[in-house]
Amino acid sequence: MNIATILSRVNPMLMLLLILFACITLNPAKVHAAAAGAPVIADSPCDEKYYESMAARAWLEAQREITQNQNIILKPDSVFEYTCFDRLLWELADHADQMLSDTSNYGSPLGSSSMDDALEDLILGSLKPYMEENFEYYPGLLGGHPAGLAIKHTVQANVSAGSPYSCDIMSRVWHAAKCINIFTESEYDGFYPFEEYASNDDKRHLPTACTPIASEWTNNINVALVSGPWTNDPVQTYLGQLAAQDCAGGNCPCSGDPIPTGVEVTGQSPGPINYNEFVCLQAGCRYHPGGSPLTGGGGGDVAAGCYGK
């Protein structure tokens, strides 16, 4: 019996288990590190912590995106509010004096308020509770966003309480929506790091604040960023070196250390023939390897570093 025949008869699940066993256990360096109590650094995707940390990070990313979407994409308002629909009912009732049901030109089969009563019973009686239950639990329009707090139309209690139709709600909402800035911080418009979600209430606040879920954020932050296989991440952002130059008095010195790129440069005289390449993060600054005057800078030789004007 040849090898191909033997492999074809082996249970595929058994083969998978054997591969996983080899990935997880046959790593003397990892076994030694664990025995010594040192942090375990994942060197293979076979490590279960690798998957757990990725799953926790995915949860954090998805929850933050959902939260931001629910804050920025506002709940639609009611068209009944935008059009002041109850005032349209008043207009209809007001002009009913000229209609058959209310006019006395052909006798008086119905009272002069019959149209008012019909509109209240048939439409306004259901419109008002519908609006109160679904849209009026926040103080303004635009789904409760601070930009719409001063814009509101409250449905009147009865048809006779109306007034001549005049409604600018839709125009006011349109202008307010055009002027919304995401990072006004009136409530929770900002885009926060994960830790901010764990230390405060749930950022979904429109139209009303949600129940805090800080513990879920804390647990996933711990798995994804603290206790995962990449603890003590050595990544450096150098954000502190990105500040603009202070050019007071016409002099623009550069701050911060040059960052090595790992590239070796072969130059030509004058100046160093071979040197390691660096970059300067501050805007308007450039790296000079030293050993020759700065172009356009005047003076003699300068030391290696970042230079501006």
pLDDT band at 159 (very low <50, low <70, confident <90, very high): confident
Over residues 141-157, mean pLDDT: 83
| Percentage with pLDDT > 90 across the chain | 6
Q: What pLDDT does residue 128 have?
A: 84
Q: What is the DSSP pairing of strand 305-307 with strand 286-288?
A: antiparallel
pLDDT band at 227 (very low <50, low <70, confident <90, very high): confident
> Contact 284/308 with Cβ under 8 angstroms?
yes
pLDDT in tens, 18-31: 444 444 444 444 44
Please check the confidence at residue 58 and state whether its pLDDT lies above 70.
yes
Burial of 119 (0-12, 13-18, 19+ CB in 10 A): buried
Q: What pLDDT does residue 61 have?
A: 92
pLDDT band at 290 (very low <50, low <70, confident <90, very high): confident
The CA distance from 75 to 136, in Å, is 12
Q: What pLDDT does residue 30 have?
A: 46
Q: What pLDDT does residue 20 have?
A: 46
Please check the confidence at residue 44 and state whether its pLDDT lies above 70.
no
Please check the confidence at residue 110 and state whether its pLDDT lies above 70.
no
The closest alpha carbon to 145, from 213, 204, 191, 198, belongs to 204
The CA distance from 259 to 244, in Å, is 17
Which amino acid belongs to residue 296? G
Q: What pLDDT does residue 26 have?
A: 43
Q: Which residues pair with 200 in a beta bridge?
A: none
Residue whose tokens read 């030109």? 105
Residue 35, C-beta contacts closer than 8 angstroms, at least 6 positions apart: none
Q: What pLDDT does residue 171 have?
A: 92
pTM of the model: 0.47
pLDDT in tens, 229-283: 666 556 676 776 777 777 766 677 787 788 899 898 887 766 667 888 999 888 8
Between 111 and 274, residue with greater pLDDT: 274
